[in-house]
Amino acid sequence: EMSEMFERSKQNVAHGLAWSFYVGYLKIVLPRVKKSMEEFSRANPNLPACRKTWKLHILIPLSCHTYDDLEKADSNIQYVTELTETILARAGIKKRVYKHSLYAITDEENQLWHCAVEYAAPLQTLYAMSQDECAAFSRDERLEQAKLFYRTLEEILRGSKECADTYRLIAYEEPEEAEPHFLSREIVWHLRQEHHEEISVLERSHPPSPSTALDSAELNLQISVSDLPQPLRTDGF
């Protein structure tokens, strides 16, 4: 009876996809992301290194619409290279290859941000199901499934010790009117948060000496509100 109830409400779809995504992919690749990013940073010492951004940024559009080519989604996102491959024997497949793409993202001030970013692939399944009459998925049901997928994946990853600090979930709802650089702005927003997090850690590790420390009044004069780290958005989930 419980199985039939879940099947009718389709609650098992997103839940299963989230667990499959974690067990079959993220649990394998995430523990290796930082090493790949470190290798890239050593090979490219001219690029600024922000260790807090050395993680896999996973895009979760609630529309479930994904692009196979991120450069077509937003011209401010440009492919740079592939990170180091992970090759494993998996489910009877010899030398299965897992790899991530590194992108350079241009912000509104023409500054470049480098990060590994990709869509959550199971969203393609949800989108395809909403287009297939056999699945009988309405647009509203697809939206609810996308939210459930996000919440389930977030909960799974939060409890995973081996994946700690190796990922960033970027869930978003696309604007009704097309904005050519919406996606790059969304990603850069998260990268800036990570950058501020790293600065905060460094400041706690190396507090300024009394002779060089600035009081709060001086800081208020030198730093604008827009420059301060903003609280992480919940996007209503």
Query: Residue holding tokens 């912000």?
Result: 107
221 SS3 class? helix
pLDDT per residue, tens digit, the chain (237 aa), is 444 544 455 557 899 999 999 999 999 999 999 999 999 888 888 776 778 889 999 999 999 999 999 999 999 999 999 998 888 898 899 999 999 999 999 999 999 999 999 999 999 999 998 887 776 678 888 999 999 999 999 999 999 999 999 999 999 999 988 899 999 999 999 999 998 876 665 555 545 444 333 333 333 333 334 444 444 444 444
Within a domain: 48: yes
Within a domain: 223: no
First to last CA, the chain: 29
Within a domain: 232: no
Within a domain: 119: yes
The secondary element (H helix, E strand) that includes residue 77 is: strand 77-82
For the chain, the domain total comes to 1
Q: Which of 59, 105, 46, 54 is nearest to 235 (CA)?
A: 59
**Distance between CA atoms of residues 51 and 176, nearest Å:** 35
Read off the CATH number of the domain in which 30 is found. Answer: 3.40.50.12100
**Distance between CA atoms of residues 49 and 194, nearest Å:** 12
**Distance between CA atoms of residues 188 and 106, nearest Å:** 8
Q: Please give the single-letter amino acid code of residue 215.
A: D
Within a domain: 221: no
Residue 102 lies in domain: 1-205
Within a domain: 50: yes
Within a domain: 55: yes
Q: Whole-model pTM? A: 0.79
Distance (Å) of CA 3 to CA 9, 11, 18: 10, 10, 18
Within a domain: 17: yes
